[in-house]
Structures are given as structure tokens and as C-alpha cells.
Structure 1
Amino acid sequence: HSSVDPKEMKKFQLLAHKWWDEEGDYSALHSMNDIRVPFIRDTLLNMSSNYHLGSPLSGIKILDVGCGGGLLSEPLGRLGASVTGIDPLEDNIRTAEQHKSFDPVLAKRIQYKASSLEEIVEESMETFDVIVASEVVEHVADLEMFIKCCSQVLKPEGSLFITTINKTQLSYILGIVVAEKIVGIVPEGTHEWEKFVPPEELQRLLESHGFSVQAVNGMLYNPLTGSWSWMESTSINYAMHAVKSGAEGRSSPTESLSEMESEQRSATAGTSV
């Protein structure tokens, strides 16, 4: 039993060599880096007090699930993170390895594996500080199993970042009819509306596996400018940040977070209370 969907594998197999063509089939994912990379970076910096100028994510172990050709792994590696990128398609991993080889700095910071998430669970229990699954959950065969595996490989109080597409009439019209059939921003057949995930459902699944959702932000793609921006509404695309609850014995994820916050507050307040 696997969270990998063979039909999805076939679709991406055909495009494996096109990941780094910024004007090609993956152009929208290239420009998504303009908002998803700062979202991940700034959220993590706000949670930590010790970071290094120049490589702010230094010392942070990130798992990039469904990394494709490495479009998100590379900028996270350049920010200093130690990144493991996994993807079930060997052709995607070959593309990612080849592109990484152009930058000697990344050779030390990123490692890629042709693997599904559940295949690395046993060797990687509570290994990672951060998991990113960007534009992935709408392609998996078993979302609940996927979330469970994320929880298993993430350290207590670790962060999970997800970007995906909501399941609304608007997302069908814009995400499939317009994006695939009319404008051709993404190849036809890339998405199946039935597999889109509403944020409420994703939040419920996360909370049932020991996560506390911290932020849900709407995202909007403008095909005319080829750029992304944040927006209030989550009716099309959205980004979610969730934190895994701390050590066993804590009553709830939110409680453990408020405990941490009050500890931090009293520590920073010191004698001035």
C-alpha cells in the first residue's frame, strides 16, 4: 500500500526533463518560489532566535517531499538548510542531481533520493526539523497515510509547509479549464479536480495526526504577469503551515505551543516583569 499514484507518475515521467525551463511547463512553479520561499524562511526565522546572516536556515534539516527537479530544494539549500529531496520518479531525481551539480555549494547541502515518503519512514523517524510538500498533496493516492508519514519523520515541534489547490468551483474553472485547456499554463491532464483538497479537510487531517495549524494563506497566480501574490481568499490556491506537537504527555499541540510562547516571553522579559 503506497501513497504514490501510478497514474500521476506516468504524467510526470513525460515532463521530467523540462523542470528547469523557466518559460516551459513548470514556469508557474518557478515563479511560485517568489512567495513560497520567503513564506518558509520568514516563518522559520520568526520561530527561532539564533540564525546566521547570509545563511539564515543554517543547521535546519528540511525534507522536500515530491521535490521534482529540485525547484524548491535549491533555494532552501542556498539559504543554508540541509535539504533531502525525495521523489518517486527516478527521472526527476536525475534532473535534480544534474542541475545541482552546476553549483558546488549545493553539492554539500542537498541530497536527492528516488523514494516515496513511506519508504524512508523507518530510517528517518523524527529526523527532520521541517517538511515541505509543495503542490504534492493533490497528486497522492492516500492523503491520510501521507500526513501520518509526515508526522513520523518530523521532529516534535517541527514545521510542515504545504501548498495546494482548494476544491471549489472557482478552482475547477481557473485551475483546470483556464490553466490547462485555454491558456496552457500547465499541461492538460496535470490535475484532477476530485483530488483537490479543501483547507478545512487538510486541517482536520493534520489535527487528527498531532499537528496544530498555525497559518492558512490564500495564493493567486496572474497568468498575464506570470507572478504569484498572497490574498485573503483560499478559494483557489493556498499555503498552510502546521507544527507537530511536542513531547508525549502534552495535552494538545496548541497547549504545548502556548507553553513554549509563555516560556519565551518570561525568558525575554527577565527581571522587567
Structure 2
Amino acid sequence: MFSNKFGRLMLGLYGWKMSAVCGVVQSSAGRSGFSWTAVCKQRTLWLQRSTCLKSQHHTVPCHISARSASHTTVDPDEVRRFQSLASKWWDEQGEFAALHAMNDLRVPFIRDNLLSVHRARHPGRPLAGLRILDVGCGGGLLTEPLGRLGAKVLGIDPVEDSISTAQLHSSYDPDLCDGVSYRACTLEELSAEEEGGAEEPGAAQFDAVVASEVVEHLADLETFAFCCSHVLKPGGSLFITTINKTNLSYALGIVVAEQLLHIVPSGTHDWEKFISPEELERLLESNGFSVKSVEGMLYNPASGSWSWTNSTAINYALHAVKVRDDAQPDQTEDSSSHSEDAATHS
């Protein structure tokens, strides 16, 4: 999540060369005796230590961390943090201003990729007939516009006050009554509901799962990926927007914002939870997904708007599709068919 102050700082720093990030900045950082070289060395040592630990425990896949032991996506510290912000979701000039602006990119990104698979049958409501799960929906900033496109959208969030805010806000729009609903629960709870009844409400019921600005706040990405696959229909889409794990994101999100300028409270961002597109792709592929596209995103604090960019150094959007269970048999059948045709012609 971005604060307005953090956003204003980001634009100027984004233009730096990466070498400048790893150098000594002759500015307010220099006057305070702060050394970017020391920062980079500290991070390098941390990475080396992490690599050593992984090599010592080589039987554990690279995308599984110690936090996976809990088998829950919920981080209690994150829940408490968002609990304190639950009443501010719909303040377009407040803490979530950048998320409101992000809808200009993420809504078309979701819509267009879904329409590439599902043809629009209702003019003005292109997503009609599709079921979408919005994981970590907060106050419903993304849930509502997806509902207005015609989809049946379920927003879930472990913060009950955020769900109350979302329910109250959507109640003001009669057009959302039938298409949008909310539940205060976790992804793993929803996924496990198949064990509670014959209708299996948690299993393979959604055409798409959306997790926008969520994965960097989760306690267990392995459980997240597994549950997303479980609740998606074969061929269903997964949409993620998040923060990359780079020198730049470390400098902006941890060192500058928290340690140097104290723009946001210490602990707001956990760099260990950031994930690169490559690592996220490996994680998803190991859970039955095929990544279709990854796009870089850039926030301009001067205009308060987002734009697509070739760089994924800070923010990026990802679209993946759950591999169909019958994909292999189809391929085998096609191969057999081609072989028979070839034999016939010969």
C-alpha cells in the first residue's frame, strides 16, 4: 500500500540509475551520514545468508519459506494494521488514493484478459455470466467496478471492519445488490468449505481470482497459490498485482520510507515478503498455473495516475491461467489424430 507522501517520493527516486541507488547519495541522506553503499552491502550480506540457508535445506523448494509452516495466509500484524484503516477505504484523497487510481489499469487488465477467453454476450456488461473472487478485497475498491461490468463477484477479507465498510458502500448502489457480495473469511477457509457439504462451495467454482496488492501482505504464498488453484475452474484466470523484490523496491519501501525519512512507520513493509515475477511464476507453475503475461506498472505522484511501463522493477501485474485437467489427454488425442492422418496420406 502507498501513502501519499510515499508516492511523492517514489517518482523522483524511480528515475535514478541502479548504480546511484548503490552509491553514496550526496543529499539529505549524505548530510545525515547515511550511506547507500552500506545499505547495499547490508542487503547483499542478507541475500548471501539466505542463499546459504537454502543450500543447507536443499530439500525445500525455493519458493517455500519458514512462514509456510503455519498453512495460513493471514499475518496477524497485517490484520491489525488494516484494522486501523478499515474506515478509510473510500477516502480517495487518503491512504488508499493510489489504489483508487490503480483501477484505471487493473480493471481493464482483468476485463481484457477475461474477454480473450470468454466472449462478451451482453453489451455494456462484458463480464456477465462470470464468477470472480476478489481476495483481500478490503473496502471493495476493485470488487465494485468488476461487479458493474456484469460479473458475480465475491469479495473476501480477514478484517471484519473492512468487510463492513465494503458492504455499507455497495448498499448505496442498487445495481450492485445482485452482483456483489462480501464475506469476512480467509482464502483457505473458503477453499476448505468443500469438506462441509455435498455442493462443494469452495471447489472450482470461480472463473477468475483477483489478488491486487495482496500477496506482499500474506504469511504463506504456497498456501495462497494452492487455494487459488483449488477454487478456480479449469482454465480459470488468476490476476495479481504486487511489488517486485529488487534493490529499488528495497531502497524505496524499506530504507527511504521507513528508516531514513520516516514517511511511514517502521515495519509497514517487509521486504522479505516482496516477490519477483520470476519467483512468483515458479510458485504458480508448481501449483498448476501457466503464466500468460507480466506487465510493469508505474505510479506518477504528480498526476496521481498509473501507467504501463516496460520495467517491472517496482510494481507489476501478472495474469496466469489454471491448466486444464484434460489438457494432456487432448494433446495426446490430437497427436494420435495427426499420426492417423499421416498414415492415411502415406
Could you say which TM-score interval applies, normalised by the shorter chain?
Answer: 0.7 to 0.9
SS at match of 1:167: coil
Amino acid at match of 2:100: H
Match of 1:75 among 122, 142, 145: 145
Q: 1:64, 1:240 → 2: CA distance?
A: 15
Contact in 1 for aligned 2:120/2:127 (Cα 8 Å): no
Question: Does 2:223 align with 1:153?
Answer: no
In the TM superposition, 1:12-161 aligns within 5 A as 12-123=82-193, 124-161=202-239
Give the C-alpha shift of residue 50 in structure 1: 3.8
Distance in 2, Cα, partners of 1:37 & 1:176: 28
CA distance in 2, matches of 1:177, 1:213: 31
**Residues 136 and 122 of structure 1: CA distance in aligned 2, closer, same or farther (over 3 Å):** same
Q: 1:183 to 1:161 in 2, by over 3 A?
A: farther
Correspondence for 1:264: none
Report runs of 4+ in structure 1 exceeding 6 Å deviation: none
RMSD (Å), alpha carbons: 2.0
- Report the equivalent of 2:63: none
Structure index of larger Rg:
2
CA distance in 2, matches of 1:39, 1:187: 32
Q: Is the 8 A contact 1:126 1:153 kept in 2?
A: yes
Per-residue deviation, 1:247: 2.1
Instruction: Tell me which moved more, 3-12 or 48-57.
Output: 48-57
1:28–1:183 Cα change, 3 Å:
farther
Q: TM-score when scaled to structure 2?
A: 0.70
2: CA distance, partners of 1:212 / 1:96: 32
Q: Cα–Cα, structure 1 residues 53 and 175, in superposed 2: closer, same or farther, change >3 Å?
A: farther
For the residue of structure 1 that corresponds to 2:102, the secondary structure is helix
Aligned residue among 268, 280, 295 for 1:217: 295
Match for residue 278 of structure 2 among 182, 200, 211: 200
In structure 2, do the counterparts of structure 1 residues 102 and 243 end up closer, same or farther at CA, with 3 Å as the change threshold?
A: same
Secondary structure in 2 matching 1:108: coil
Q: For 1:177 and 1:221, how far apart are their aligned partners in 2? A: 19
Deviations along 1:165-201, whole A, 9 cap, x unmatched?
A: 00111112233455667595x7764321111011111
Amino acid aligned to 1:160: L
Q: Please tell me the residue identity of whatever aligns with 1:70.
A: G
2:302 match: secondary structure: coil
Give the C-alpha shift of residue 127 in structure 1.
Answer: 0.5
Aligned residue pairs, count: 254
C-alpha distance 187-220 of structure 1, shift in aligned 2 (>3 A): farther
Q: Specify whether residues 179 and 45 from structure 1 end up closer, same or farther in structure 2 by C-alpha distance, changes over 3 A only.
A: farther
Q: Which runs of 5+ in 2 are unaligned?
A: 1-69, 194-201, 335-346
Task: Compare the two structures and name the one with the higher strand fraction.
Answer: 1
CA 1:142/1:150 → structure 2, altered by over 3 Å: closer, same or farther?
Answer: same
Three-state SS of the structure 2 residue aligned to 1:250 is helix
Deviation at 1:251, TM superposition (A): 7.0
Is the 8 Å Cα contact of residues 175 and 236 (structure 1) preserved in structure 2?
no
Q: 1:86 to 1:173 in 2, by over 3 A?
A: same
Contact 1:45–1:51 under 8 Å retained in 2: no
Gaps of 5+ in 1: 260-273
Q: Which residue of 2 aligns with 1:250?
A: 328
SS in structure 1 at match of 2:208 = strand
- Counterparts of 1:182 and 1:54 in 2: how far apart (Å)? 46
- The answer on whether the counterparts of 1:125 and 1:154 sit within 8 Å (CA) in structure 2 is yes
User: TM-score normalized by structure 1?
Assistant: 0.88
Aligned position for 2:250? 172
CA distance in 1, matches of 2:215, 2:242: 7
What amino acid is the match of 1:205?
Answer: L
